[in-house]
Chains A and B, each alone.
Chain A
Amino acid sequence: MPQTTPFHNCLKPYLETGIWKHWSGYLVAPRYQYSSTAEYYAIRNSVSLLDTSPLFKYKITGSKSLSFLQSVMVRDIAQCQPGEAQYTCWCDRDGFVLQDGVILRISENEFWITSAEPSLRYFRSIAKKLSISDVKIDDMTRDFGILAIQGPHAFNVLSQLTDDVGDLDYFDLVQTKIDDCPVTISRTGFTGDLGYEVWIRSDHAEQVWHCLVDAGKGYNIIPIGLEALKMARVEAGLLLLDVDFNSSRFAWVDEQRETPVELGWSWMLRNLTHDPREFIGRVAIEKQISEKSNRWRTVGLSVDWHDYERVHLETGIMAPKHDLYCESTKSIYRRSDKEWDYAGYASSFMFSPILKKPIAIAKLPNDLAKPGTEVDIEVSVIRKPHNVLATVQRMPFFDPIRKTQRPEGRIV
């Protein structure tokens, strides 16, 4: 039997489609309404609630918790003060990424981590291997539900329930109460919009849910499914495990593995020269940087919509755009005299409802990875391959100011 999240009973009445799918063995909705795009617009236009409870959640405590995380994580968590969060990744010894996740620094020696795949045994085995004794890693996955409240009105909704949210800058967090229930609110999310993630003790989940829904009534708050979230995350340039990259842990060959540089996460390594930590994979990562031996880079692709329409219209059909989100690989070719000169692939491809053009997340060799470089992306039109012009673009594709700006008063 599939598991259910602490919000399951609250979400069930919204499920117009009758379709549940599984996420880490929990029932979640791909969409509640028939239109994913309508739900997507709750993220970009009003406010949305997404149940992300299936994420694995770990608590790291003890006097050596900081040095443990410094040894494991690619980014230095010491740069985070208590009350701040950090998006990071962790690698194996060869510098290949195992996972990404967000770390909340709750206090000096208490950290909470979310991860897409189970990591309890991994973290514990690393602590043992590194002989870090005073660190305790606990599984809190079932103790908490997490609601992502995302969208331009997210602040307007949450600020009705707690004053503490007003002081939260991007990636800040606060422990406070909603309706007397203790909650932890971080200004984080996977949508690239203004938004918060609320950790709620499982036994308070329904109570807090009703508070949020009530507070959101004037703002058209709705629960959204994973498809809407995924559309928003591509626009935000956020990579998804098992879609845009695989965990090195379950890969068969290095071709399936990727380093932070290859994933376009060089920004995580910016301060490496002033950072004396010996985190797992550092040697391999530094070698790759100094030798420029990364095999590819992960870049954004802006697909030429004229060309995209043309290949469809010339074939006699309308170009599909609405509700178009695709995780199957699309081949990318070098624009040269040679026909079908394979260069790389797109791992995510979608029609951006707000940018009104197709966009993609792609893996390209270094010489094609510079913004402005033109490539061909293969699109299937009536079951035949056609090439469409696309241009390398820096991600995020869509980056509203409200994502990082401190909200002042009520946002209209």
Chain B
Amino acid sequence: MKSDTQYDAIVIGGGHNGLINAAYLAKAGLKTIVLEQRPLVGGAAITEELIPGYKFTTFSYALSLLRPDIVQDLDLAAHGLMVLPMTNTFQPGFNGEYMLLGPNKDANFHEISRFSTEDAESYRDLSHLINRVCHALMPLVDSIPPNSISQDPADLAEMVQLNEYIDGLPSDIREMIQKFINCSAAEILDEYLESDLLKAQIASSGIIGTKAGPRSKESGLIWLFHKLGEYDGEQGEWGFHKNGNGGFTQVLARAVESFGGTIRTDCGAEHVIYANGKSSGVLLKDGTELNGQWDINEGTELNNLYDSTLEVSESEISAASQLLVTNELKFLKDVLVFHGESSATNGLCSPAPHLGSS
């Protein structure tokens, strides 16, 4: 059975990335449809009433890597964006002991001082250093990472440029980047702090959303990944969306529709239809064929958006969603890791890990 409607773009999977892609495509004037196999959009960013009267944000539960460009380009405020700040982090200890950190640096100093006055001071030094690392990496976050395995002269030139940028950073920032790539969160924290409670509190950034532990090799890089997130410029801080992260993907869905895009739920895709080396549509699970005319080889920016949706399998999409994978992670994986490997002779720890899938 063939559907009569001809789409310019078919986005398979209505997770937050799929929805954002679709919104951009629709905004660009393409006739766009999002196919979501579940009854609701959101992918790993969903909030569902699992028990009558109680809503649960099942997987991804906080927001910090959402780039401001997306908010503005898609006019998300008009569609209900409401990210509330997470003002405190609580670390329970043994025997009723705890550490409660908040948005005030002096109050945090006194709180940490209950365990170690030196740590209270060191925490400031470490935070400032990490903020400087993030500041150094930020310009790269919004750019498309160069292809680190290509032998194309243009790609090689981009990699050289990137390496020159990193080599040009202050030495303490470069050293810290190396540590994030090569060391576990625990190893880095042991160098700066003595209080286990404070270390535990910070190390959570190195394991959240992954199966890593604070002594896993990749936890340093995961920590940096989370630090690259921000809440209104507060590095590593998180926000909670009104009505959960499902509330956020509902905002995205409204944005898609406001630009004329169509969202179809309960609508799984069987496979992409290829003919003559080109994709020409999607076969749905119910046997319907959707026609889509696209050319993923044209238009660099759109190309990039297409790529992330079309060239991965469904299982990869869901795995990626769990990590809230965005440009940052691509950047970390493709760029920093390459750089780390290229200078792995410094004998720190092992080469950097492969982080999830994107």
Residues of B104-123 whose CB lies within 8 A of A:
104, 106-107, 109-110, 117-118, 120-122
Residue from A3, A22, A120 in contact with B117 in the complex, judged by beta carbons closer than 8 Å: A120
- Report chain A residues within 8 Å CB of B125: 121, 249
* Cβ A120 vs Cβ B121 within 8 A: yes
Residue from B106, B121, B122, B124 in contact with A22 in the complex, judged by beta carbons closer than 8 Å: B106
Given the interface pairs A118-B124, A120-B121, A121-B118, the reply to whether A252 lies near B135 with Cβ below 8 Å is: yes
Q: How far is the CB of A204 from chain B (nearest CB, A)?
A: 23
* Cβ A118 vs Cβ B128 within 8 A: no
Q: Residue A267 at the B interface, CB < 8 A?
A: no
- Report chain A residues within 8 Å CB of B110: 3, 25
* Cβ B109 vs Cβ A118 within 8 A: yes
- Report chain B residues within 8 Å CB of A121: 117-118, 121-122, 125
Given the interface pairs A2-B107, A3-B110, the reply to whether A118 lies near B121 with Cβ below 8 Å is: yes
Q: Residue B330 at the A interface, CB < 8 A?
A: no
* Cβ A120 vs Cβ B107 within 8 A: no
* Cβ B106 vs Cβ A24 within 8 A: yes
* Binary per-residue interface labels of chain B (118-145) against chain A in the complex, 1 for a CB within 8 Å, 0 otherwise: 1011101100100010010000000000
* Binary per-residue interface labels of chain B (84-121) against chain A in the complex, 1 for a CB within 8 Å, 0 otherwise: 00000000000000000000101101100000011011
With A and B bound together, what is the CA distance between A145 and B328 in angstroms?
49
Q: How far is the CB of A72 from chain B (nearest CB, A)?
A: 16
Residue from B109, B118, B121 in contact with A25 in the complex, judged by beta carbons closer than 8 Å: B109
Residues of A148-179 whose CB lies within 8 A of B:
none
With A and B bound together, what is the CA distance between A352 and B107 in angstroms?
34
- Report chain B residues within 8 Å CB of A24: 106, 109
With A and B bound together, what is the CA distance between A22 and B103 in angstroms?
14
* Cβ B118 vs Cβ A250 within 8 A: no
- Report chain B residues within 8 Å CB of A334: none
A141: nearest chain-B partner, CB-CB: B117
Q: Residue A139 at the B interface, CB < 8 A?
A: yes
Given the interface pairs A250-B128, A252-B132, the reply to whether A119 lies near B107 with Cβ below 8 Å is: no
- Report chain A residues within 8 Å CB of B118: 120-121, 124
- Report chain A residues within 8 Å CB of B124: 118, 250
Residues of A12-56 whose CB lies within 8 A of B:
22, 24-25
Q: How far is the CB of B105 from chain A (nearest CB, A)?
A: 8
A26: nearest chain-B partner, CB-CB: B106
Given the interface pairs A118-B117, A139-B117, A252-B135, the reply to whether A25 lies near B106 with Cβ below 8 Å is: yes
- Report chain A residues within 8 Å CB of B135: 252
With A and B bound together, what is the CA distance between A22 and B108 in angstroms?
13
- Report chain B residues within 8 Å CB of A139: 117
With A and B bound together, what is the CA distance between A217 and B128 in angstroms?
48
* Cβ B121 vs Cβ A122 within 8 A: yes
* Cβ B104 vs Cβ A25 within 8 A: yes
A251: nearest chain-B partner, CB-CB: B128
- Report chain A residues within 8 Å CB of B107: 1-2, 25
Q: How far is the CB of A54 from chain B (nearest CB, A)?
A: 9
- Report chain B residues within 8 Å CB of A118: 109, 117, 120-121, 124
B109: nearest chain-A partner, CB-CB: A25
With A and B bound together, what is the CA distance between A190 and B104 in angstroms?
27
- Report chain A residues within 8 Å CB of B132: 252
- Report chain A residues within 8 Å CB of B117: 118, 120-121, 139
- Report chain B residues within 8 Å CB of A22: 104, 106
B107: nearest chain-A partner, CB-CB: A25
With A and B bound together, what is the CA distance between A122 and B124 in angstroms?
12
Q: How far is the CB of B345 from chain A (nearest CB, A)?
A: 27
Residues of A100-126 whose CB lies within 8 A of B:
118-122, 124
- Report chain A residues within 8 Å CB of B104: 22, 25
With A and B bound together, what is the CA distance between A1 and B110 in angstroms?
10
- Report chain A residues within 8 Å CB of B122: 121
With A and B bound together, what is the CA distance between A119 and B124 in angstroms?
11
- Report chain A residues within 8 Å CB of B109: 24-25, 118
* Binary per-residue interface labels of chain A (356-378) against chain B in the complex, 1 for a CB within 8 Å, 0 otherwise: 00000000000000000000000
Q: How far is the CB of B123 from chain A (nearest CB, A)?
A: 10
* Binary per-residue interface labels of chain B (153-167) against chain A in the complex, 1 for a CB within 8 Å, 0 otherwise: 000000000000000
Q: How far is the CB of B129 from chain A (nearest CB, A)?
A: 10
With A and B bound together, what is the CA distance between A247 and B121 in angstroms?
14
- Report chain B residues within 8 Å CB of A25: 104, 106-107, 109-110
- Report chain B residues within 8 Å CB of A252: 132, 135
B110: nearest chain-A partner, CB-CB: A25
With A and B bound together, what is the CA distance between A249 and B172 in angstroms?
13
B108: nearest chain-A partner, CB-CB: A25
Q: Which of A2, A119, A121, A250 has the most CB of B within 10 A?
A: A121
- Report chain B residues within 8 Å CB of A250: 124, 128
With A and B bound together, what is the CA distance between A264 and B104 in angstroms?
32
- Report chain B residues within 8 Å CB of A120: 117-118, 121
With A and B bound together, what is the CA distance between A3 and B106 in angstroms?
10
With A and B bound together, what is the CA distance between A250 and B120 in angstroms?
15
B131: nearest chain-A partner, CB-CB: A252
Q: Which of A2, A24, A118 has the most CB of B within 10 A?
A: A118
With A and B bound together, what is the CA distance between A243 and B109 in angstroms?
21
Given the interface pairs A250-B128, A252-B135, the reply to whether A119 lies near B106 with Cβ below 8 Å is: no
A54: nearest chain-B partner, CB-CB: B106
Q: How far is the CB of A2 from chain B (nearest CB, A)?
A: 7
With A and B bound together, what is the CA distance between A25 and B107 in angstroms?
5
Q: What would 29 A/B residue contacts be, using CB atoms closer than 8 Å?
A: A1-B107, A2-B107, A3-B110, A22-B104, A22-B106, A24-B106, A24-B109, A25-B104, A25-B106, A25-B107, A25-B109, A25-B110, A118-B117, A118-B120, A118-B121, A120-B117, A120-B118, A120-B121, A121-B117, A121-B121, A121-B122, A122-B121, A124-B118, A139-B117, A249-B128, A250-B124, A250-B128, A252-B132, A252-B135
Closest A-B pairs by Cβ, 10 of them: A25-B106, A121-B121, A118-B121, A121-B118, A25-B110, A139-B117, A24-B106, A250-B128, A121-B122, A25-B107
Which residues of A are at the interface with B, using a C-beta cutoff of 8 A?
1-3, 22, 24-25, 118-122, 124, 139, 249-250, 252
Q: A2-B107, A118-B121, A249-B128 are in contact. List 10 more A-B contacts (CB 8 A).
A: A1-B107, A25-B104, A25-B107, A118-B117, A118-B120, A119-B121, A120-B121, A121-B117, A121-B118, A250-B128
Which residues of B are at the interface with A, using a C-beta cutoff of 8 A?
104, 106-107, 109-110, 117-118, 120-122, 124-125, 128, 132, 135
